[in-house]
Structure 1
Amino acid sequence: MTATPTRGQLERTLSQRIQALYREQLGHQPSKVTCQLFDEKLAIVLEDSITPPEQLLANSGQEELAKQVRADLSKAIEPQLRELIKEVLGVEVLDLLSDGKIDTGRTGTIAVLGATPTVRDPASTPKAKRQGEEN
């Protein structure tokens, strides 16, 4: 029997899987992916999410085209992102709202979930085991 994961474990797993998804699908890995669960909402922030071609377009004075490429890439990866979130959290994704900033290299996504994911209270885990998970 597999223990129910804590909120932190789910957030870490999602962060790692999203980073891998971007690497596999776009050939570019964000330097940091942060996921935060808020009941039926999930906030995702990607640092350094802008791909080299988008950066090249922006740097050569074609920022509007870079923004369009960013929007098209977000739309193209959305079905896989939805499926990944559903697989990790075990709940349906009702809506994904996403936007990226070329100048800062950040992308933010809010996932509206069909239910609150089931999580284990970390206080129910023995302290020694919890400390080992933090490393």
Structure 2
Amino acid sequence: MPWSTVLMLALGGGLAATAQAEVDLGPETGPDASSSLQAQNQPLVLPFTDVPSDHWAYQALLNLAGVYGCVGGYPDGTFRGENAVTRYEFAAGMDACLGALNTLLQSQHGQRQSLETFRQALEQDLQDLRSLDNTLDTLSP
């Protein structure tokens, strides 16, 4: 099964209300929310009043709405997961989630580049220290 089909199947049921309305999830949404919330040891709570915690899609919605901030609900706090999804709503939701994923990947790429630059600087410092140590050894009587 192609990855796009898997992604559509995985996201399809959870994007019903994205294009029509969004619930204000507060400041702890988006790609950085997961690490921020984990650092504060605050459990995520799904903002939708009509999705019980034992629902099979609860964890997926928790991730998409609470962690990545790419799925919204209705102003009354509901998700209405039983409603049909139009192709427009699905496209808007897919775009929001792919945008969040892209932002996360770019952030991680920047962090990797910073780490690589730091690693190279440490290696250069280590070489300089070795050279200095060798110089001191030759100067010592």
TM-score for the superposition, normalised by structure 2: 0.25
Structure with more relative contact order (C-alpha pairs < 8 Å, separation 6 or more): 2
Instruction: Give the greater-gyration-radius structure (CA).
Output: 2
Q: More strand by proportion, 1 or 2?
A: 1
Q: More helix by proportion, 1 or 2?
A: 2
TM-score for the superposition, normalised by structure 1: 0.26
